[in-house]
């Protein structure tokens, strides 16, 4: 019986360093937790900021706690078009070389962030026990097929993240979620081609050329 993985949608949000947070909310300021998120220890903060790019902006963007070593803004590919910034797909925390943007508070105070705007690489959080059961390990890349709601799809390039503090969930952004269905969705891991999209494309080419391997 393959494990069913709940699929959760991450709307655009900001993770902040303590220094950048204090710039807006004052020395020694702490985030005000509003609600816990599915991953233990993560929470939605009451504080919000606007995200500005050369072409457009988003107001009232949620800040998620706790503090991170570097400020990071996670948006969808559609969002990057509206902001007028390149869509760079990254794993959370890997901010080097990503585009910057401007953060602004309703007070008018604003801060240019030199880098940190990214489209999060789709991923699955799981515990070591989940990983054993699903025969995967940290940083594996897998395919995930969604339950069918007449718009079933298979996600490629899904990275597995294993940590004892994680709770089983696949995270996709709003573009990815809208591509199949919104809520209460589940997916199942398919370990095809060692998770490699390149091998999948090679396989498709061979099939089209009439090459069949047994």
User: Given the rule CB under 5 A, which residues bind Zn ion?
Assistant: 171
* Contact in structure between 34 and 63 (CB atoms under 8 Å): no
Residue number, 13 or 171, with CB nearest to Zn ion: 171
Least distance in angstroms from the C-beta of 171 to Zn ion: 4
Residue number, 47 or 173, with CB nearest to Zn ion: 173
Least distance in angstroms from the C-beta of 146 to Zn ion: 17
Residue number, 15 or 25, with CB nearest to Zn ion: 15
Judge residue 214's burial from the number of C-beta atoms within 10 Å of its C-beta, 0-12 exposed, 13-18 middle, 19 or more buried: exposed
Structure tokens at 172: 């996709």
Residue number, 53 or 146, with CB nearest to Zn ion: 146
Least distance in angstroms from the C-beta of 64 to Zn ion: 10
Closest-approach residue to Zn ion (CB): 171
Judge residue 10's burial from the number of C-beta atoms within 10 Å of its C-beta, 0-12 exposed, 13-18 middle, 19 or more buried: buried
* Contact in structure between 144 and 176 (CB atoms under 8 Å): no
Least distance in angstroms from the C-beta of 27 to Zn ion: 30
Least distance in angstroms from the C-beta of 125 to Zn ion: 5
Q: How far apart are CA 152 and CA 210, in angstroms?
A: 27
Q: How far apart are CA 143 and CA 158, in angstroms?
A: 6
Residue number, 15 or 171, with CB nearest to Zn ion: 171
Type and span of the H or E element at 206: helix 197-208
């Amino acid at each position: 019986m393959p494990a069913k993985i709940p699929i959760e949608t991450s709307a655009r949000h900001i993770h902040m360093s303590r220094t950048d947070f204090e710039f807006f909310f004052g020395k020694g300021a702490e985030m005000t937790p509003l609600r816990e998120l599915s991953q233990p220890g993560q929470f939605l903060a009451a504080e919000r900021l606007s995200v500005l790019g050369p072409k457009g902006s988003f107001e009232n963007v949620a800040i998620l706690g706790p503090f991170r070593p570097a400020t990071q803004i996670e948006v969808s590919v559609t969002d990057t078009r509206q902001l007028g910034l390149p869509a760079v797909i990254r794993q959370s925390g890997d901010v080097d070389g990503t585009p910057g943007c401007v953060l602004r508070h309703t007070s008018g105070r604003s801060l240019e962030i030199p880098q940190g705007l990214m489209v999060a690489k789709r991923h699955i959080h799981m515990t070591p026990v989940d990983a054993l059961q699903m025969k995967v390990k940290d940083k594996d890349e897998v395919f995930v097929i969604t339950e069918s709601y007449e718009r079933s799809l298979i996600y490629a390039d899904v990275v597995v993240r294993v940590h004892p503090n994680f709770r089983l969930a696949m995270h996709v952004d709003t573009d990815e979620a809208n591509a199949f269905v919104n809520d209460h969705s589940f997916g199942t891991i398919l370990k095809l081609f060692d998770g490699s999209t390149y091998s999948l494309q090679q396989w498709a080419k061979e099939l089209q050329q009439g090459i069949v391997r047994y």
